[in-house]
């Protein structure tokens, strides 16, 4: 019997004890090992072990250029293309060039109007997988991002990031005209109409008179 060696990039410091009561063995032999955090099931302890990295936050693969870290070496290799100088992938519609073929593929749907990702619940279609997954959370009610300060949970990471400004006094966005500072960019944008006298909202009733 030939034993396949597991690549080092897929190993983890997380140890899975099959005798641990928290690592449940399911009744079916198809996926006998269950994640104690989410209940997701796996065929082998190795797959469960690698999955647990998503909960522990292990990111051993670091980019030497920008310092960003990744769970998997494959993700790091994919990221490194961002730092490449050559943009070898060109759009056949508009000529815009990209460093990664993946980015070109995402861009092309702007021209084709293709929406390959369809929601089984409401039928809505999406042109990007990431947006599709974000949409599905509205149906499942999944809220994986929680605030360490007050415990409030959010569907999206951007929602948690926005919420965290409630707990800090930092105001990173400042008005170039009067110097007033704000916690959120959207609040700064709302404030700017004071200086520009822009009136983006109009009444349809009075406008027609």
Per-residue pLDDT tens, the chain, 209 aa: give them: 333 343 444 334 444 444 443 444 444 457 778 888 777 888 888 888 777 877 777 788 888 888 888 888 888 888 888 888 788 889 999 988 888 888 888 889 889 888 888 998 899 998 888 888 888 888 888 777 888 888 888 877 788 888 887 787 777 778 888 888 887 778 888 888 888 766 666 676 665 55
157 part of a folded domain: no
| Eight-state DSSP code of residue 3 | P
- What are the beta bridge partners of residue 174? 181
Among residues 56, 79, 94, which one ends one of the domains? 56
pLDDT at residue 198 in the model: 66
Number of domain units in the chain = 2
Q: What is the CA radius of gyration of the chain?
A: 24
67 part of a folded domain: no
Query: What's the domain range around 202?
Result: 170-209
118 part of a folded domain: no
CATH number assigned to the domain comprising residue 200: 3.30.160.60
49 part of a folded domain: yes
25 part of a folded domain: yes
In angstroms, rounded to a whole number, what is the distance separating the alpha carbons of residues 68 and 72?
12
Q: Is 48 helix (H, G, I), strand (E, B) or coil?
A: helix
Among residues 39, 56, 73, which one ends one of the domains? 56
- What are the beta bridge partners of residue 90? 97
189 part of a folded domain: yes
Query: Is the CB of residue 99 less than 8 Å from the CB of residue 82?
Result: yes
- Determine whether 144 is exposed, middle or buried from the number of CB atoms within 10 Å of its CB (0-12, 13-18, 19+): middle
pLDDT at residue 2 in the model: 39
114 part of a folded domain: no
18 part of a folded domain: yes
pLDDT at residue 29 in the model: 56
């Amino acid at each position: 019997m030939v034993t396949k060696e597991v690549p080092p990039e897929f190993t983890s410091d997380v140890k899975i004890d099959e005798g641990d009561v928290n690592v449940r063995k399911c009744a079916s032999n198809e996926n006998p090992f269950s994640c104690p955090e989410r209940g997701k099931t796996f065929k082998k302890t190795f797959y469960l072990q690698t999955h647990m990295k998503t909960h522990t936050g292990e990111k051993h693969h670091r980019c030497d250029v920008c310092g960003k870290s990744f769970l998997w070496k494959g993700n790091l290799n994919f990221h490194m293309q961002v730092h490449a100088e050559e943009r070898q992938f060109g759009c056949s519609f508009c000529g815009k060039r990209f460093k990664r073929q993946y980015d070109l593929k995402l861009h092309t749907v702007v021209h084709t109007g293709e929406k390959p990702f369809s929601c089984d619940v409401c039928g809505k279609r999406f042109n990007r997988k990431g947006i599709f997954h974000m949409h599905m959370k509205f149906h499942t009610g999944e809220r994986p991002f929680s605030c360490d300060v007050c415990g409030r949970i959010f569907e999206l990471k951007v929602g948690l990031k926005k919420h965290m400004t409630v707990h800090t006094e930092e105001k990173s966005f400042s008005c170039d005209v009067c110097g007033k500072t704000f916690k959120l960019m959207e609040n700064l944008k709302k404030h700017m109409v004071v200086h520009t006298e822009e009136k983006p909202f109009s009444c349809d009733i009075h406008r027609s008179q």
